[in-house]
Structures are given as C-alpha cells and as structure tokens.
Amino acid sequence: MIDFNYETEFKIENEEAIATWISSVISEEGYKLEEINYVFCDDEYLHKLNVEFLDHDTLTDVISFDYSMGKLVQGDIFISVERVEDNAKDFKVDFNSELNRVIVHGVLHYCGYKDKTENDAQIMREKEEYYLAKVK
C-alpha cells in the first residue's frame, strides 16, 4: 500500500498513477511492496526531522526512513515541496519531473541503492532516469 500525506497545501493530482508507477518500480527491482507513506511538507518541517533524527543542520529535498525487511519494502518518505520547487529551477526542469525524481529516489534507497560515493550516486542517477522514462 502507498499512502500520500500532506503537511502543506500541496497535493499530488495523480496519486493513483504515481502509486501504480512506484509499485512497478519495486516489482521490477525484485522487491515486494509492504507499505510506503509519502509525507509532503515544507522546508521547516523537513529541516526539523533532518536535525532531530539525522543530526544534519541542512535543508534537503527528501528523507527516507527505511523499515524494510529483506525483500519487503516499507518506510516513510518525507519530501519538501519547497526544495523540489527550488531544485527544479536550479536544474532547469519542470516541477513534476523533479518531484517524480525525488519520489523514486526514496524508493530506490529501499531497493538497496546508495548515493554516498560518486560511483553509487551515478548508478542511482541512472536508475532514476530509467524509471522516470516509465512514469505516466
């Protein structure tokens, strides 16, 4: 099950299509969906989580809390809509493209992909691009 929660005025228009897409990503990666909660929020909300739980005093676009066990994907993904808007401008892409990138980024972490090293980040980016081409 995929749930979308909102701590801001923002709302995804196509929740069902996005949920179907994310489910297909998980399946294609050889995992099984248990439960993912997406929480869309503002910078302040996500910054508090970043400081409290990760001891990072910085703004970020996404934080994933992974509760997966083996091949069962489960977790909470918090996304700052403000960061996504700013990043879309910085990267010169439309908002929905950047939002979808962040949405799939969190799921790819649950499927075992990392992004701490340059090589891992490159693999993550390639996977993001691959799945972004499949979003409807």
Nearby residues of 118 by Cβ (< 8 Å), 6 or more positions away:
none
C-alpha span between 90 and 84 (Å, rounded):
10
Pairing assessment for the beta strands 62-66 and 2-6 based on DSSP bridges: unpaired
Residue spans of alpha helices (H) in 30-94: 43-54, 81-91
**109 marked ligand binding residue:** yes
**47 marked ligand binding residue:** no
C-alpha span between 10 and 6 (Å, rounded):
7
Residue written as token pair 């969906």: 33
φ, ψ of residue 48 in degrees (nearest 5): -60, -45
Pairing assessment for the beta strands 62-66 and 72-80 based on DSSP bridges: antiparallel
**115 marked ligand binding residue:** yes
- Positions at the binding site for Zn(2+): 105, 109, 115
- Positions at the binding site: 105, 109, 115
